[in-house]
Structure 1
Amino acid sequence: MAFAYDDTNIFARILRGEIPCNTVAENDHALAFRDIAPKAPVHVLVIPKGKYVSFDDFAANASDAEIAGFHRLCAQVVRAEGLGLDGGNAGFRAITNAGPHGVQEVPHYHLHIMGGRVMGPMVFLRD
């Protein structure tokens, strides 16, 4: 099942400047901003500026420059927020969700960078 990109999603509207965000960092290919409902002391979303629905869509279809720019911005955010492992920092979690089973809320590829505390188990398994 393929999902078409929806130009009305909130991240597309943020990229067009229709909705404000608390920008953390930006480059030619990606934008990083604070989550409006943070789940950790540091919770930053990084989104590509291109129209990609999910990680697999981005990885398969983005240009090399877009992929490199996105990941370099993620690294910049990790350092700027004091989450990197260099200098004795305790680390962070980077997570993305895709589709209904992944509980993706916004149909625009995005990576959550979360830290500032122990994040707990990766997944709670149910019977």
Structure 2
Amino acid sequence: MTRQLIDYVRSAVTHVGGVTPLRGLFDFAAQYQIKSALHGPEDISPVGMASAIHLDLAVHNFGIQEYAGYTDLTHRVFPHAFTFTDGHLHPGEAPGLGVELDEELAAAHPYAAAYLPVNRLQDGTVHDW
């Protein structure tokens, strides 16, 4: 960062310990004209997505917000105020993060652990995808 070799800091609220640590990282990056790029795949729940949207609105070095969308079931289990229309995310007008949990529906679909594969070179070295 200090040598300005990157343009974006890409992370997720759920990967760095919450909104406060990520805000600190983005504030540090802003000193070097580096923008935010919040991660938003569908394996980050609508709670994490809503947190990201609110953080996007709070930092002056906002760059881009990734949004992969959710299944219909996820939308029903986590009713939320944020919307995605014409390529734009809007936080909605609900208080707080604007996300609720349908506990009864969630209980009908128990969590099944899943793990991303680890890519390794032939010598066993961990490598990116």
TM range (shorter): under 0.3
Q: What TM-score, normalized by structure 1, do the two folds share?
A: 0.27
Q: What TM-score, normalized by structure 2, do the two folds share?
A: 0.26
Larger radius of gyration: 2
Q: Which has the higher contact order (CA 8 A, sep 6+)?
A: 1
Q: Which has the higher strand share?
A: 1
Q: Which has the higher helix share?
A: 2
